[in-house]
A = this chain, B = another copy of it.
Amino acid sequence: MSIGPKQALYAEFASVARALGSQHRLEILEHLAQGERGVEALAERVGLTIANASQHLQQLRRAGLVASRRDGKFVLYRLADEAVLGLMAALSDVAQRNLAEVDRIRRHYFDDRDSMEPVSREELLARTRDGLVTVLDVRPPDEFAVGHLPGAVNIPLSELESRLAELDPDHEIVAYCRGPWCVLSFEAVAALRARGFRVRRLEDGLPEWRAAGLPVENA
């Protein structure tokens, strides 16, 4: 049945789609969008055994979604391409538009914590020039270290309650994390609002900021 070049191409395209067709692999891709990562770190964060994570990574590699390099005894994986992020965005866009369940989850969880419009990247750029805004990165420190918004303060969500003193109550805060579906910034917004801070979320997360060609610091 797979005669014809069109059929052969569609078979290839389908193999890419199948590689995206797993909750775990999508989550792995979200983490890789932050920057390079080893197998063990990914396995732990996604909640897989190392052997299993390794197999998922190889499926992603065969599908051309990730690439890898060896660094000493570690193997570091990364997204193959900026286009991969675009593909994931297109996927979530279609799912959001057409699957009622997605809408239900969004309203029930996300809108509950922050129903405000997120701050656009352009708006944040303009406001940081005035210096009256604190950019807050609530991801774990190792992800912050690989790359973050210029001038951002890193307080991981888990430490937020105990480090409130580091935040200037007179500044508006703009919080961000891994991307549009990362819960960290939503939790941070809810927690900080309850403490009286003026805080909004940045649209999307670091990978999308970087993909937009905006500057990233990795000191």
Contact = CB atoms under 8 A, between A and B. Distances in A.
A91 interface: yes
Interface stretch (A36-44, A76-84, A142-150, A151-159): A76-84
Give this chain's copy count. 2
Contacts of A87: 87, 90-91, 93-94
Interface of A: 1-2, 4-18, 20-23, 25-27, 30, 47, 63-65, 80-81, 83-84, 86-95, 97-99, 101-102, 105-106, 108-110, 181-183
A212 B95 CA distance: 22
A152 B16 CA distance: 35
A181 B6 contact: yes
Contacts of A84: 94
SS of A interface (majority)? helix
B6 A182 contact: yes
A86 B92 contact: no
Given A14-B23, A105-B5, A182-B6, A81 B94 contact: yes
